[in-house]
Amino acid sequence: MKLPIQINKKILLSGFLIIFALLYFWTNTKHNKVVCNEVKIVLKPEGSSLFLDKATVSKIASGSESVHDLIGKDMQSINLFALQKNLSQSPFVEKASVFLDYKGTLSIHVVQKIPLFRVINQQGSSYYVEKNGFKIPHIPQHAVRVPVISGYIEEKLADSTYAKSDILQGAVVFFNYLDGNEFWKAQIEQVYVDKFKDFLLIPKVGNHTIVLGKTDNLVGKLDKLYTFYKQGLQNVGWDKYSSIFLNFEGQVVAKKRN
C-alpha cells in the first residue's frame, strides 16, 4: 500500500527538479543576453562639493575615460567586480556598489568620504582625515573648509592609509567630539601642536590661546573651559587673558595679558 505513495513522492521531486533546472537555464540565458543600455551614477552626499563628481566616478570605475563606454556591451562581458574594486580602492570613496539589472541599467552607487579636519605637517604638506581616521589626499582645486591642525606633526600622507601617530589619533578623538558639539564646533577653528606634543587651541572668539595639553579627559577639560567662559570671561571681557591652561588637574589657569 505504501509503494504508490513512495513512487508519487519521487515523481513530485523529479518534477520540481526539472522545473528548477528549466527556470535556472531560462534565467541564466536571459541574464547573459542582457545588454547595457544605460549607466546611472548615484553619488552621496548629494549636492556636495567635496572631491568627486559623476564624471570622476565614471573614470575611476572604468579605469579609463568613462564607464559609459560599456553601453552596448552584453552583461557577460562586463566585469562588475573590477568596477567595484576600482572604486573601493579610491582614497576618496567610503563605500561603493555596482550592479546591472535585467533591463540593462548599470547602477553605480558611491558614498564619498567626508573630511573631519585638515593636517599641515612639519614639511608643509597637507592632507585630510575623516571621522574613522582614514587619510584623504588634499586636492587644491577641491579645498574643503574644515578645522586645521598644524605644528610639530611628522606624519605624512604616504606613511599609512589611516592616522597612525598618537598626535593624529588624538586629533581624531578631539575633532569628532567638536563635530558633535554645536558650541565647540563654532568656537574652535585651528589647533597647533607644540614641541611637547600639547594641543594649543585657537578660538574664533577671543584673542587668547587655549592650552589643552593632551586629549585625555577631553570632555572634562572642555566642560571646565565652558564654565570659565560663562562665569569668568563674560564679566572681564574675552581679551583680558592671553592664555588659558586646561592641562592642570581640576582647575583652569588663566594668564593675564601684559
Residue 151 domain flag: yes
The residue length of the chain stands at 258
The per-residue pLDDT for range 181-213, each reduced to its tens digit, is 999 999 998 999 999 999 999 998 878 899 999
Residue 71 domain flag: yes
pLDDT at 16 over 70: no
Whether residues 73 and 142 fall in one domain: no
Give residue 100's pLDDT.
87
Q: Which of 55, 143, 130 is nearest to 94 (CA)?
A: 130
Whether residues 162 and 247 fall in one domain: yes
The boundaries of the domain holding residue 58 are 38-112
pLDDT at 164 over 50: yes
Whether residues 105 and 122 fall in one domain: no
Phi-psi region of 63 (alpha: psi -120 to 50; beta: other; left: phi over 0): left
Q: Which of 90, 102, 80, 103 is nearest to 43 (CA)?
A: 90
Give residue 76's pLDDT.
81
The per-residue pLDDT for range 234-249, each reduced to its tens digit, is 667 667 888 999 988 8
CATH of the domain at 66: 3.10.20.310
CB 162 within 8 A of CB 134: yes
Whether residues 88 and 124 fall in one domain: no
Whether residues 81 and 129 fall in one domain: no
Using CA atoms, how far apart are residues 1 and 223, in angstroms rounded to an integer? 85
Q: Which of 174, 118, 122, 108 is nearest to 143 (CA)?
A: 118
Whether residues 188 and 150 fall in one domain: yes
Give residue 74's pLDDT.
83
Last residue of a domain, one of 86, 112, 138: 112
Using CA atoms, how far apart are residues 256 and 208, in angstroms rounded to an integer? 10
Number of domains in the chain: 2
